[in-house]
Structure 1
Amino acid sequence: MPRYARSEREALADLMQTLGPDAPTVNEGWTTRDLAAHLVLRERRPDAAGGILLPPLRARAERVRLRIAARPWPHLLDQVRRPPAWSPVSNPLTDELANTLEFFIHHEDVRRVGPGWLPRDLPAGLHAALWRRCSGLARLALRRFPAGVLVQAPGYGELSVGRGGEPLRLVGAPGELALFLSGRQRVARVQIDGAAALADRLRGTDLGM
């Protein structure tokens, strides 16, 4: 059985090792060091990781992340590359479910920051795995968007989300949709069909979790 979470993790760690700790990422204001610290926090500090998603806990999570970011770069990369087996999100039972989308997105955060990048030719199995996770992401990210949005990944599936009303159609490969729906619209190669003003609004809406 393919282990896409593991392969994306290793590819990201290799790329960050090549680029060093000060390379920019798609996440505005974050370097590769910041991104690595985020991943270590998420996997190794469950006492603080809730702040990634919960605003009341965010300040503490950020303080912990900054302390993690101060660690020597080789040590930080090693912790990204070798997650603890006890972690709620990276143990053998949860790794594929919790980390395939996470590490794909963050791998692309580093790949797509500069000029000249191209989408990767992903295996069909990874496309399918990303689409399975995309459906939940779409329902969460677009639940309040003031339109009926038909999200389509040709060959993998489609779903309708949003609050209804004027229709839009969002089309792309599963990985491109994942990037778009996680707030990375400017680097996602998707097609949006519908009223131009509404499409522009979708491209500019804060969809980040």
Structure 2
Amino acid sequence: MTRFSSPVSALVICMNEADMIGECLESVDFCAEIIVVDSGSTDSTLDVVNGYIAKGYPIRLFHNDWPGFPRQRQFALDQATQPWCLSIEADEAIDDVLRQSITNVTQLGNDAFDGWYIRRRDKLKGYGYAHRWVLHNRLLRLFRRDKATMDLNLRVHESFEVPGETGTIENGVLLHRREMTIAEDLARANTYSSLKVATLVERAKKPGLIRL
């Protein structure tokens, strides 16, 4: 796999992620462009990012004061120039199999899909990464730049949408490297569900009709 050759803009938003962002950037070195949007880090995050720029990584670094997850992600998307975008957190990394899978689907010229769901494997404190046979989160993280939309009123931050057909990349996973306890993982899931319900109430929709 040739470095920096896939027609993909990786979108990374960050703040105070000095201990995490390096591995994230290394995992997306197949992308032709890496957009990093920092919202005011006070640790050495920017030094780490600039170090990768000095190594030749195709990183475009921006500062944008924190406007909330949806607007910050939209800001990152607005800076992208490649036909495909990959949304990735600073504490996540693409495994080698997923790197190849993303390269394959973005370079084949397949017009059937506007976006691709990716499976994410969480890391639980004391247990490590969940077994590969465990059902993982399925997230829409890879999408065509000119098709992606963002509801700026959403309170939950994983919310890019595309109008057309989507597929699921079956080979490879997105590794969530920040360790959580089982209690923290459950609390996060409950918080996301509550935020989704609050958003639906604001839209005057019935939450029972939506998968939480």
- If each structure's helix is expressed as a fraction of its own residues, which one has the higher value? 1
TM norm structure 1: 0.23
TM-score normalized with structure 2 length:
0.23
- Name whichever structure is richer in strand by fraction: 2
Whose relative contact order is higher, 1 or 2, with alpha carbons under 8 Å and at least 6 apart?
Answer: 2
